[in-house]
Amino acid sequence: MSDPAARADLTKRQLPSMTLAKGIESLPLAAQAHIASTSDDSSTRFEVSGVAVVTGGLGTIALTVVRALLQHGLTGLMLLDLDVSSDSSKTKVEELKEEFPGRKIETESVDVTDEEAVAKVMATAAEKLGGIDYLLCFAGIVNCTHALELSPKVFRKLLDVNTTGSFICAQAAAKHMVKANAGGRIVFIASISAHRVNYPQPQVAYNTSKGALLMLKSSLAAEWAQYGITVNSVSPGYMDTILNEGEGLADARKSWADRNPNGRMGKPEELSGTILLLCSKAGSYINGGDIVVDGGGVGILAIGLLASFVYERIDLIQSFYYNAPSRLTKVNNIGRYEIKFQDQIRSCEDVLLIEEYHLALLACDPGRERHNTVMGVFAGNVSNNAELWAYDYENTSGPDAESLKKINVNGFPHANDFHTLGMAFDLKSSTLFVASHAQAGSRVEHFTFDIASLTATYVQTIQHPLLNGPNSIAIINEHEFYVTNDHYILKKDSFLFSNLETYLGTPTGTVVHVNLKDSEINAKVVARVPFANGIEIINSSTVAVASSSRAGVYLFNTPNATTFKQTSKIRLPFLPDNLSTSGGKLMIAGHGHLPALAKFTHSRRICNDPFEYERADVSAKEACSTLEAVSWVSEWSESEGLKHLYVDTEYPSSSTVVRDAGKGVGIITGLYAKEQPIDGLVHANENSVPFPFPFPFPFLFLFLFLSSVVNGLKPDPISFQPNDHGSQLKCHVLAAPNEVLRIITGNASESLLDEKLPHAPPPYNDLKSMALTCRRFNYFATENLYSCVDLSTDDAFLRLYRTFRDRLELRTHCTQLMLRVGQNLPQEQGLNWDILFDKASTGLPPGLDDSDKAKPFLDIVFWCIVWLKNIQSLAMSGKWFSGKSGLIAYILSVASIPGRKLERIAFTEDSDSESSPVNLNMLPFWLEIITHDIKHLKIAWGHSPREPLLDVSSDCSQPYVL
């Protein structure tokens, strides 16, 4: 504190002391008359004499209690309520007066939060009735609103009425009691909600207000004991009153009764005796206490909660033992299957069928093995983004490329931050919704999907506070859909609490109804489900929601779109993921063993990252090939119950199953893969339902840059001459021979590579060695791809990699990239390259000017292109191009990955040598892997003003084939 005077004043403060009673003799004589003594008998021990003021006095429980007090001798009564002038209120008071003639019974309307009004009615009661001996505070309100949707205004309202209102009334009454020097009794009506959370109703404000009331009672009891005033509270359990009646509360009433040892709710009359005790001589030494009247519910709270906790999770707990990969009983009721689409799709979370067109849509996120899309994106930066694919499952006899095609996405502004989970499609309106756990914030992307052209056109991005972690979607119509939020706490916000939410199975997952009519985004939580995962509309009145934490599927009756009433739960021996329907049956895919899945997914993040693998210990490396995860697929119908279709560890971690019963075709997707590539789709030809299996695989770089040109295959590359440039060449797209593509990216033996690749034209000779080396490591992370050539021995590269890994700020700041080795880069006509990245600004280790160090430097070029997604211009120079054709080619391929912003490339050799810096036969291959995003490519060497070898500049909007 900077002000010395203020500090001095602060240190001189003296706190007021609480004065305690000095014994019975020090109490007022009138108060001593209310103390139990040896002279009391059965007629006087529970006698109540004097005047009582009762707030909330016209309620069912309050009227029952005041009748008991009147029966035991109460002479005066003031009933306070919000409105005592209504006909029903007047009727209640008249009945009371008729029942107890000769007693003084008055009523007043008052708001207990209005201190002036309360003071006035207390004065009126003291004046009309001759004092105040008892105060019973029944006034209170309740609210059942989920905390996410509860407004602070409503929260304050409950505290104002239930807690502050009780204090205002107690203070006003106590002033009259102290003034009269006669002592008094004050009784607050608390609740069992002050002792525990009364699941399942969400009552955070009510519970808080009643909990605070207990401390208010204890504090006042200590302060006012010296005046002969006792302050106590009663905490009723569930009472059978008109407030708890009605068809809508039937399920809740049954739940409350089932959880009580007495098997029923309490009656208001069963509360009267407790309050009578606190107001009579028999209760004179009870002060600051709280008496729970709930039939024994709180007494067995710990055991009951534990039993309930275990019962709700018993299937999950049992799966930890019985479903361990070593004990698993494997099941195959799907018949024969076939893996297809090798090296094309991976990490496909969701798939949906458009049966009228025999089309399956798949949402695949290649970066899934390096980040967690459940609970929000977990990684700090994810370079690979999701893709949407269409599979014509009727066209299975031809080449794979004819049946699986990437969906074109038009006008989508978030392509560089797209991480898909669930999706839903409405055929009538062509509406497609896709959930995305984008790093910029979770959202649902809205498209229109044209089946004929396989084009998804962006419409809008749907963001709302209630869509904090969208997982699965079920569409109602073009304007309405349901979406599940698997977690309330995202993993990127808190690793600890998000995992606690998962493993404890807290009911914090939500089902949200979204309505897009009238150009507004209206959202409402319609159900709470622990780890809400897949959702499926079974029929017009039933919706199924998978709970991964509770190992079950909850079934809800839906009388309207925004009303969910749980009817039953399908108990499962595994953790369900996504849901679908087929032939009147609910299809369920999921994960059989949570501990194995957790270990398996963690190992993928080590096994698929060369740098992490290099640092890992022996046991972690062995886990890459030994760990297993369980896939589980079942179907359910109300008539036949649950039937298991597929249980195995061969294809780890199934996430979705769909089936076209008419065609006899099914698809199961998976999230992770073992060490060796498991890519593609599986078909069966038996009468049992066949299941194509698009599964992920450890990322192979060669696949990435060749897969973009699998269409329009030609037998051999077209040769390219130096004079065929500029005016005749736009954006040349040339396909690699399909056979060679398969050999390089597949599991072919080295002898087969030697047999096939030497006869292939360049650049495939260079690619062979890359394929062999990459395959030896076969764990390539999609975030930080880099050269695999000689990776096992190149310590220089690993050293440089660590240097750049610590400079991640370059990811966002660098938009133009210049790299040089040896001589300075000559200024090119028409290309003004800003030097934002060279050896001076990056702190590269010394010695890179030596051309012998070109290879590790080229590795760094490659690494930077992968990370620096915002680079628009790239210029490279040096004497080290000769003999590095394959490496340069694959640097270009990474630069051309969809989502990159690179538009201009220049390669120059600053020597006057007439020899070509690169193999001219490489040029067609360079061009085939450069996408239409490259607006300007320039290749030249020497300082003489000769025409460049290649100078291409066009909008490249349409591919041009020589």
Residue 724 shares a structural domain with residue 615: no
Predicted local distance difference test score (pLDDT) of residue 592: 82
Among 97, 78, 45, 93, which Cα is nearest to 273's?
Answer: 45
- Distance in angstroms (rounded) separating the CA atoms of residues 941 and 218: 89
Provide, rounded to the nearest whole percent, the portion of the chain with pLDDT above 90: 25
3 state SS of 411: coil
CA 860 to chain centre: 36
- What's the rounded mean pLDDT across residues 495-506? 77
- Distance in angstroms (rounded) separating the CA atoms of residues 379 and 377: 6
Catalytic residues, by residue number, are 419
- Distance in angstroms (rounded) separating the CA atoms of residues 441 and 492: 11
Please tell me which of 84-88, 453-457, 950-954 the model is most confident about, judged by mean pLDDT.
453-457
Please, are residues 541 and 528 in contact by the beta-carbon 8 Å criterion? no
Helix then strand count (H, E) for the chain reads 27, 36
Cβ neighbours of 592 (radius 10 Å): 25
User: Domain for residue 24, yes or no?
Assistant: no
Read off the pLDDT of residues 568-596 as tens digits, 9 standing for 90 and up: 899 998 989 999 999 889 999 988 877 77
Look at residue 809 and tell me whether its pLDDT is greater than 70: no
For all residues of the chain together, what is the average pLDDT?
69
Task: Answer whether the bond into residue 737 is a cis peptide, omega within 30°.
Answer: no
- Distance in angstroms (rounded) separating the CA atoms of residues 239 and 608: 60
Residues in the chain: 962
Q: Determine the angle formed by the axes of helices 60-71 and 269-279, rounding to 10 degrees.
A: 50
Q: Is 13 exposed, middle or buried (0-12, 13-18, 19+ CB in 10 A)?
A: exposed
- Alpha helices of 41-86 — where are they, by DSSP H? 60-71
User: Position of tokens 């409405």?
Assistant: 426
Please tell me which of 29-38, 241-250, 374-383 the model is most confident about, judged by mean pLDDT.
29-38
Predicted local distance difference test score (pLDDT) of residue 297: 61
Residue 172 shares a structural domain with residue 274: yes
Higher pLDDT: 802 or 306? It is 306
Predicted local distance difference test score (pLDDT) of residue 460: 93
- Distance in angstroms (rounded) separating the CA atoms of residues 654 and 591: 6
What total of structural domains would you count in the chain? 3
At position 60, the amino acid (one-letter code) is T
Higher pLDDT: 805 or 864? It is 864
Among 443, 400, 402, which Cα is nearest to 423's?
Answer: 443
- Distance in angstroms (rounded) separating the CA atoms of residues 348 and 656: 9
Structural domain including 932 reads 710-735+795-953
Residue 667 shares a structural domain with residue 804: no
Look at residue 367 and tell me whether its pLDDT is greater than 70: no
Predicted local distance difference test score (pLDDT) of residue 688: 33
Look at residue 60 and tell me whether its pLDDT is greater than 90: no
User: Domain for residue 278, yes or no?
Assistant: yes
Residue 826 shares a structural domain with residue 938: yes
Domain finish residue from 307, 340, 355 = 307
User: Position of tokens 């049966």?
Assistant: 355
- What's the rounded mean pLDDT across residues 95-106? 90
- Distance in angstroms (rounded) separating the CA atoms of residues 803 and 114: 68
Look at residue 937 and tell me whether its pLDDT is greater than 60: no
Read off the pLDDT of residues 65-92 as tens digits, 9 standing for 90 and up: 999 899 988 999 999 998 888 888 888 9
User: Domain for residue 768, yes or no?
Assistant: no
Domain finish residue from 292, 307, 322 = 307
Please tell me which of 286-290, 816-820, 825-829 the model is most confident about, judged by mean pLDDT.
286-290
Residue 457 shares a structural domain with residue 591: yes
Provide, rounded to the nearest whole percent, the portion of the chain with pLDDT above 70: 57
Q: Determine the angle formed by the axes of helices 87-99 and 60-71, rounding to 10 degrees.
A: 20
Predicted local distance difference test score (pLDDT) of residue 30: 61
Domain finish residue from 699, 719, 743 = 699
3 state SS of 317: helix
DSSP designation for 33: T
Task: Answer whether the bond into residue 507 is a cis peptide, omega within 30°.
Answer: no
User: Domain for residue 775, yes or no?
Assistant: no
- Alpha helices of 518-654 — where are they, by DSSP H? 594-607, 610-615, 618-626
Look at residue 777 and tell me whether its pLDDT is greater than 50: no
User: Domain for residue 8, yes or no?
Assistant: no
Residue 415 shares a structural domain with residue 508: yes
Look at residue 898 and tell me whether its pLDDT is greater than 80: no
Phi-psi region of 788 (alpha: psi -120 to 50; beta: other; left: phi over 0): alpha
- Distance in angstroms (rounded) separating the CA atoms of residues 611 and 238: 60
Higher pLDDT: 744 or 583? It is 583
Predicted local distance difference test score (pLDDT) of residue 305: 53
Look at residue 50 and tell me whether its pLDDT is greater than 70: yes
- Distance in angstroms (rounded) separating the CA atoms of residues 926 and 892: 7
At position 706, the amino acid (one-letter code) is L
Among 339, 357, 364, which Cα is nearest to 394's?
Answer: 357
Q: What is the CATH number of the domain that holds 369?
A: 2.120.10.30
Predicted local distance difference test score (pLDDT) of residue 669: 82
DSSP designation for 101: T
Residue 401 shares a structural domain with residue 300: no
**Per-residue confidence band for 266, with pLDDT thresholds at 50, 70 and 90:** confident
The end-to-end CA distance of the chain, in Å, is 80
3 state SS of 697: coil
Please, are residues 655 and 670 in contact by the beta-carbon 8 Å criterion? yes
Higher pLDDT: 835 or 628? It is 628
Look at residue 755 and tell me whether its pLDDT is greater than 80: no
Cα 285 to Cα 133, 280, 531, distances in angstroms = 16, 10, 50
DSSP string covering 151-173: -HHHHHHHIIIIIIHHHHHHHHH
Residue 531 shares a structural domain with residue 442: yes
Q: Bridge partners of 631?
A: 591, 648
Residue 261 shares a structural domain with residue 361: no
Among 872, 844, 871, which Cα is nearest to 858's?
Answer: 844
Q: Among 343-357, 379-393, 623-637, 790-804, whose mean pLDDT is lowest?
A: 790-804
**Per-residue confidence band for 959, with pLDDT thresholds at 50, 70 and 90:** very low
User: Domain for residue 531, yes or no?
Assistant: yes
Residue 596 shares a structural domain with residue 717: no
**Per-residue confidence band for 370, with pLDDT thresholds at 50, 70 and 90:** low
Among 505, 576, 568, which Cα is nearest to 535's?
Answer: 576
Residue 548 shares a structural domain with residue 409: yes
**Per-residue confidence band for 374, with pLDDT thresholds at 50, 70 and 90:** low
Predicted local distance difference test score (pLDDT) of residue 911: 42
Task: Answer whether the bond into residue 763 is a cis peptide, omega within 30°.
Answer: yes
3 state SS of 658: strand
- Distance in angstroms (rounded) separating the CA atoms of residues 470 and 832: 45
Take residue 180 and report the two structure tokens written for it: 């009269």
Annotated binding site for Ca(2+): 350, 421, 471, 533, 577-578
Please, are residues 646 and 631 in contact by the beta-carbon 8 Å criterion? yes
Please tell me which of 6-20, 66-80, 253-267 the model is most confident about, judged by mean pLDDT.
66-80
Predicted local distance difference test score (pLDDT) of residue 118: 95
User: Position of tokens 């498991």?
Assistant: 678
Higher pLDDT: 468 or 44? It is 468
Annotated binding site: 350, 421, 471, 533, 577-578
Q: What is the CATH number of the domain that holds 140?
A: 3.40.50.720
Predicted local distance difference test score (pLDDT) of residue 2: 60
**Cβ neighbours of residue 755 under 8 Å, at least 6 residues apart?**
none
**Per-residue confidence band for 691, with pLDDT thresholds at 50, 70 and 90:** very low
User: Domain for residue 222, yes or no?
Assistant: yes
Cβ neighbours of 143 (radius 10 Å): 16
Higher pLDDT: 369 or 811? It is 369
- Distance in angstroms (rounded) separating the CA atoms of residues 322 and 318: 6
Residue 622 shares a structural domain with residue 690: yes
Cβ neighbours of 668 (radius 10 Å): 28
User: Domain for residue 717, yes or no?
Assistant: yes
Among 94, 29, 32, which Cα is nearest to 63's?
Answer: 94
Q: Among 537-551, 811-825, 861-875, whose mean pLDDT is lowest?
A: 811-825
3 state SS of 538: strand
Take residue 457 and report the two structure tokens written for it: 């056109």
- What's the rounded mean pLDDT across residues 560-566? 92
Among 533, 548, 530, 640, which Cα is nearest to 580's?
Answer: 533
